[in-house]
A and B are shown apart, each in its own frame.
Chain A
Amino acid sequence: QKEVEQDPGPLSVPEGAIVSLNCTYSNSAFQYFMWYRQYSRKGPELLMYTYSSGNKEDGRFTAQVDKSSKYISLFIRDSQPSDSATYLCAMSQGNYGQNFVFGPGTRLSVLP
């Protein structure tokens, strides 16, 4: 079992839909969680950074952490074609950069 799992997709949704992207993990010690967006032929860029459990909202994006279920989610409201990208989750016990474990990513296509 991989330490961090994500459905690779591709996930195709119509423009304006609410998108739910998820990761599950096995290490209950993880406390820091991040979501990255990666456009084709580009490096990942940070979307959301959360510590411990709960929700965090930033514009159309909401990150949710459920440590009891070892499950994190990223919701995208009013999805746009420009949201089409691969979304990677990353997590770590501490916030040292070298310790973050990445999921394989979910490829999202938002169709106009």
Chain B
Amino acid sequence: GAGVSQSPSNKVTEKGKDVELRCDPISGHTALYWYRQSLGQGLEFLIYFQGNSAPDKSGLPSDRFSAERTGGSVSTLTIQRTQQEDSAVYLCASSLSLYLTATDTQYFGPGTRLTVL
């Protein structure tokens, strides 16, 4: 079946512009996660959704970052007034529920590579 998809795959923008990144999770997955991956860094957790609700937004790096999820499905991560330090790969993952097991695990999308000039 279809996995997690993300769009665009690559995004080049100018400093100060807003960008919107999209994630389509696996159908039926109630949990959705956003991570940021920079060269040499681990996956930095940004935010998660249980259904349409984001209980904890403390992982977002600044108030320029926001995310929403609608219909328990598609999620968008918006970065306003982009800065060069925002350049990274943004990964989305989904899972059947928040409780991960060997069989009910996170499935990652291919990521959006963001470059801020």
Contacts and interface: CB of A to CB of B under 8 A. Distances in A.
A27 to B, nearest CB: 14
A95 B56 contact: no
A32 B99 CA distance: 11
B72 interface: no
Most buried by B among A6, A41, A44, A98: A98
Contact of B100 (A6, A43, A100, A105): A100
Contact of A104 (B42, B93, B101, B109): B42
15 contacts: A32-B100, A34-B100, A43-B4, A44-B108, A45-B108, A49-B102, A49-B105, A95-B99, A96-B98, A96-B100, A98-B33, A101-B42, A102-B42, A103-B42, A104-B40
Interface of A: 2, 4, 6, 8, 32, 34, 41-46, 49, 88, 90, 95-98, 100-105
